[in-house]
A and B are shown apart, each in its own frame.
Chain A
């Protein structure tokens, strides 16, 4: 049964459901027309009905061929079928005793099938055409009683009715059952796909949460480790007798702390790869001021950026540069200065960032100061400026102003 169905209607991989129903309908209607041709002929009905049945057979067969083998299934296919059906069944109507014939049942059956397979925007039109045909036939029958060719005998009428009324409810049922089956199957597939999607979504969410927790864990590890490095340097510097060595260790610690502070900020902001540079520089400069026994108010900060959130790849070198320049100012510039002040600015220019660190101190000192080209702090600043594709200029007036153009 199923193989025959597949053979006639086609498989669901290459035919849409509507297309398959059309194949099946055109095939069965072809058979029905052949049967009608033979019946009409042997029952001795009017010869015109035999020709009509033959025409119906041919049209159905051609449409079945086009639809099933040539895969030609468009709204036009349906409308051609509707049109020819109207003409053929209309003719049949008058030769089978007009309203006492069962042709209306066939029209109603076809209307149901076409409504099922037509596009939604064409449904009303199909209904109008077929229901209109029925009304038109009744009107014509009334005004042109001469057109009606009555049945030759009650037996003939009975046979015609029995054939049609056995056929049309049965075929209507078959089509509706097929439709229902296809609907249920699609529902099931939709449900399965929905479950699969939900499952996939759940897994993705879990994975994301896991990855996020790994990243957080990693940040904790980084922070803890930086803390340990900083602690190690301070433990060691507490034990070093030599002043220069101790100073070097302490400087190392402040550099580590400047980096560590970025990681502290990173996690708190819940943004995993960028940091609020204004907040960061604020904390950094306050911390540096404190470590030299100065109040945070001695550093005036001004940050003008359209977006304060900065990638750590840029924030870390900027932090380290600021660390060196501010440390240098506190260390060397302010001896004997009544109102020590440092101005730290980060401004957005059209094509670059401008970082300046200015103090109102005593100006360049050699050879101990950072400015001596040989000092480690200066070397560090130069390296970092290069890393951010920057260029540094130093001005004396009489305090010192470092201006760094960053084009990273």
Chain B
């Protein structure tokens, strides 16, 4: 199994409570959290030492220290080929212009909604898989129920939200999700979503 397929995410955010809740939301959706950094040096250190290199970075712009989020994002993209999602309270023209130079996948304004963030992460992975032109070994085998769940995941719904909609428990949703990966021999759910979109 390729290392890259474990869907690892780095969170750069100096408000650690916010960072922690992002981490929990993503972990709940079975993403791997490569780490939480509250400034640029910490982010670079995590990337250099990481066993699993983060592919996607959720990056605050106004972080503490010399190097701001926009500069850090450009650096991470250059050094490690990470895809960037900016998550910031700033939405003025000057900040936006600086941010777009780093060519982020998405620019999410705080206070964010879970769905916004999950969609952004989905899109980031989609971009990565597209660049690598990952192909599945064979056509996906999914039941109708599994397809329904996978589509909801693709739409940025969390397992909890899906459970509420389908009137089943969150654990059941997660079991479905794991089985889908196992059955098709895929290591991460974003990859499955990517292949599903490609088939459709």
A16 within 8 A of B: no
Q: Are B164 and A292 in contact (CB under 8 A)?
A: yes
Q: Are B165 and A293 in contact (CB under 8 A)?
A: yes
Q: For the complex, what is the distance from the CA of A232 to the CA of B91, rounded to whole Å?
A: 23
- Chain B binding surface, main DSSP class: helix
Interface string of A250-262 (1 = CB under 8 A from B): 0000000100110
A216 within 8 A of B: yes
Which residues of chain A are near B111, meaning CB under 8 Å? 223, 226-227, 230, 257, 260-261, 263-264
Q: Are A227 and B91 in contact (CB under 8 A)?
A: no
Q: Are B89 and A238 in contact (CB under 8 A)?
A: no
Interface string of A218-241 (1 = CB under 8 A from B): 011001101110111011001000
Which residues of chain A are near B92, meaning CB under 8 Å? 216, 267
Which one of B19-27, B64-72, B191-199 is at the A interface?
Answer: B19-27
Scan residues 98-127 of chain B and give those whose CB is less than 8 A from a CB of chain A.
109-115
Which residues of chain A are near B184, meaning CB under 8 Å? none
Which residues of chain B are near A235, meaning CB under 8 Å? 17, 20-21, 24
Given contacts A238-B24, A257-B111, contact A232 B17 (CB under 8 A): yes
Scan residues 259-316 of chain A and give those whose CB is less than 8 A from a CB of chain B.
260-261, 263-264, 267-268, 287, 290-295
B156 within 8 A of A: yes
Using CB atoms, name the residue of chain B closest to A226: B111
Which residues of chain B are near A223, meaning CB under 8 Å? 89, 109-111
Closest beta carbon of chain B to A264's beta carbon, Å: 5
Q: Which of A227, A238, A267, A291 contacts B112 (CB 8 A)?
A: A227
Q: For the complex, what is the distance from the CA of A388 to the CA of B50, rounded to whole Å?
A: 54
Q: Are A220 and B62 in contact (CB under 8 A)?
A: yes
Q: Are B115 and A287 in contact (CB under 8 A)?
A: yes
B86 within 8 A of A: no
Q: For the complex, what is the distance from the CA of A292 to the CA of B115, rounded to whole Å?
A: 11
B128 within 8 A of A: no
Interface string of B155-166 (1 = CB under 8 A from A): 111000111111
Which residues of chain A are near B90, meaning CB under 8 Å? 220
Q: Are B161 and A224 in contact (CB under 8 A)?
A: no
Q: For the complex, what is the distance from the CA of A227 to the CA of B13, rounded to whole Å?
A: 12
B15 within 8 A of A: yes
Using CB atoms, name the residue of chain B closest to A335: B167
- Chain A binding surface, main DSSP class: helix
Q: Are A231 and B20 in contact (CB under 8 A)?
A: yes
Q: For the complex, what is the distance from the CA of A275 to the CA of B176, rounded to whole Å?
A: 42
Looking at A216, A230, A231, A292, the one whose CB has the most chain B CB atoms below 10 A away is A231
Q: How many residues of A contact B (CB 8 A)?
A: 28
B141 within 8 A of A: no
Q: Are A293 and B113 in contact (CB under 8 A)?
A: no
B140 within 8 A of A: no
B152 within 8 A of A: yes
Given contacts A268-B91, A290-B157, contact A227 B115 (CB under 8 A): no
Q: Which of B91, B114, B115, B162 contacts A267 (CB 8 A)?
A: B91
Q: Are B113 and A287 in contact (CB under 8 A)?
A: yes
B97 within 8 A of A: no
Q: For the complex, what is the distance from the CA of A268 to the CA of B163, rounded to whole Å?
A: 33
Q: Are B25 and A234 in contact (CB under 8 A)?
A: yes
Using CB atoms, name the residue of chain A closest to B112: A227
Q: Which of B20, B24, B89, B157 contacts A227 (CB 8 A)?
A: B89
Scan residues 43-63 of chain B and give those whose CB is less than 8 A from a CB of chain A.
62
Q: Are A293 and B161 in contact (CB under 8 A)?
A: yes
Scan residues 197-224 of chain A and give those whose CB is less than 8 A from a CB of chain B.
216, 219-220, 223-224
Q: Which of A230, A232, A290 contacts B161 (CB 8 A)?
A: A290
B18 within 8 A of A: yes
Using CB atoms, name the residue of chain B closest to A234: B21
Which residues of chain A are near B24, meaning CB under 8 Å? 234-235, 238
Q: Which of B20, B110, B166 contacts A224 (CB 8 A)?
A: B110
Given contacts A223-B110, A232-B17, A264-B111, contact A290 B89 (CB under 8 A): no
Q: Are A264 and B162 in contact (CB under 8 A)?
A: no
Using CB atoms, name the residue of chain A closest to B115: A290
